[in-house]
Amino acid sequence: MRTRNQRTLARSLQCSGVGIFTNSDVKIRFCPAPENHGVQFVRTDLAGSKPIPALIENAVFKQRRTAIEFQGASVEMIEHVMAALAGLQIDNSRVEINAPEAPCFDGSSLELSEELLGAGIVEQPFQRKQICIEQAVTVEDESGSFIQAKPLNRSVLAIGYYLNYGEDSPVSPQCLTLEINPETWMSQLAFARTFVLEHEVEAMQSLGFGQKLTAKDLLVLGEQGPIENELRTLDECVRHKILDCLGDFALIGCDLQGYFCAHQSGHALNRELIKNLRATQQSAISDNSWKVA
Ligand SMILES: [Zn+2]
């Protein structure tokens, strides 16, 4: 990923769906935005609500999902939306949403990515900032999960993920490394759905989550494999974990160059890495957001 120009949408588009945690019917509208605007969410259901910049400093803790909050307004489950925007290199967009949570769609970012591509993407006359990893940075948690960001001798972003839930899990051990760009995003990642284990669904539904969804809407993995559903690829789970990493890493607000190697990480560790990079690699951000003639 060499230096490139910033990009935005050619026109606005609207999608609708259901929020998995709040059971809300959600309308989400993606609008073009000027250069250096970044991605900002606006809660249209809250009168006078200020835009919420999708940046790591606005991230707030939520179990199993990524949420941002700014001046009293928040939006949750943004990771699959952020992944679609990052995967397609749409840097600037005002995202209007009428609910506290982004729609789940089919658990993947495919439908949204196709809609975004259909709206068209245009280049803007400013360069996109980037951070090039020059020294290895590792974050880990007490369970032994970790992510390491390492230098790479090519100007690209590569994300690798190693997943192993143990012998008794219905999810087999999987690992995959992909170079991330709009082509690999569409062909290798956008279709990969979020997944839950059967016993987790029961726990979630007892808490009131996912009331409007059935096993057909959500990839539920039981002991014998997917329930009322089929895997899109044998390694769909690890592909979704890479998708989640990409969406969470996008909260850094610029392009990343380097190799990101994740072992069993989830949203909390992804956010910690990005906070760490934001703090330690500030000087490595190439401030090249000037106007190109
Ligand atoms: Zn996810």
CA 194 to ligand 1 center in whole angstroms? 5
Q: What is the helix (H) or strand (E) element at residue 196, kind and residue range? A: strand 195-197
Report the C-alpha gap between 255 and 44 in whole angstroms.
29
Whether pLDDT at 292 is above 50? no
Q: How confident is the model at residue 45 (pLDDT cuts 50, 70, 90)?
A: very high
CA of 151 to the centre of ligand 1 (A): 26
278-287: average pLDDT? 67
Is the model's pLDDT at 90 over the cut of 80? yes
CB atoms within 10 A of CB 59: 22
Element (H, E) at 199: helix 198-206
CA–centroid distance, residue 288 to ligand 1 (Å): 32
Q: What digits encode the pLDDT tens for the residues 12-31?
A: 999 999 988 888 899 999 99
Separation of 31 CA from ligand 1 center, angstroms? 23
Helices of type H across 177-251: 182-184, 198-206, 236-249
Give the distance (Å) from ligand 1 centre to CA of residue 242.
9
Q: Is 199 a catalytic residue?
A: no
Following CA atoms 208, 63, 116, 162 in sequence, which dihedral angle do they give, to the nearest 10 degrees?
-130
Q: Average model confidence (pLDDT) for the chain?
A: 91
Instruction: Tell me the pLDDT band of 103, cut-offs 50, 70 and 90.
Output: very high
Identity (one letter) of the amino acid at 290?
W
Report how many helices (DSSP H) and strands (DSSP E) the chain contains, helices first.
6, 20
